[in-house]
């Protein structure tokens, strides 16, 4: 059985049993219906009242299930999770780039110091050059 047929059947059964309800229950149901109708925006209310199908059946089911107040914005509760993840990943990439740039600058400064020094480049390849550096620093 499809959903609209099931809804029509439920509405018929509820309408048939409506006459057998106590007066106190029907008064509470009427008050609840009036409160619900008062919350419906005006354009939606006019669209339903102009539809002959809605006037023929007093107890109709809505086209979509009713949502809790504020349920439309429920996805906003989860917005900080991907936002924080993106910010954290961006911060990690920034730190990685900064440290990589700093290392490149240190290597460039070392290269400039080696090339600008009076020592010939062949001296750096000599095995005894490390001993020479240690002795000259003292």
Both 59 and 7 in a single domain? yes
Both 61 and 78 in a single domain? no
Both 44 and 87 in a single domain? no
Both 57 and 105 in a single domain? no
Over residues 17-42, the pLDDT tens digits come to 777 778 888 888 888 888 888 887 77
Both 55 and 78 in a single domain? no
Residue 48, judged by CB atoms within 10 A of its CB (0-12, 13-18, 19+), counts as middle
Domain holding 102, by residue range, is: 74-137
pLDDT category at 65 given cuts 50, 70, 90 is low
pTM: 0.35
Contact between 35 and 69 (Cβ < 8 Å)? no
Both 96 and 43 in a single domain? no
Return d(Cα 75, Cα 111) in angstroms, integer: 55
pLDDT category at 84 given cuts 50, 70, 90 is very high
Contact between 59 and 15 (Cβ < 8 Å)? yes
Number of compact structural domains in the chain: 2
């Amino acid at each position: 059985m499809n959903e609209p047929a099931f809804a029509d059947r439920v509405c018929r059964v509820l309408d048939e049993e409506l006459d057998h309800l106590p007066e106190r229950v029907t008064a509470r149901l009427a008050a609840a219906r009036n409160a619900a109708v008062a919350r419906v925006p005006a354009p939606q209310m006019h669209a339903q009242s102009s539809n002959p199908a809605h006037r023929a059946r007093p107890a109709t089911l809505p086209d979509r299930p009713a949502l809790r107040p504020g349920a439309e914005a429920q996805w906003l509760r989860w917005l900080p999770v991907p936002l924080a993840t993106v910010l954290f990943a961006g911060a990690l990439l920034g730190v990685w780039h900064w440290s990589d740039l700093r290392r490149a600058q240190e290597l460039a400064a070392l290269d400039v110091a080696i090339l600008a020094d009076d020592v010939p480049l062949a001296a750096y390849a000599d095995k005894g050059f490390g001993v020479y550096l240690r002795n000259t620093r003292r």
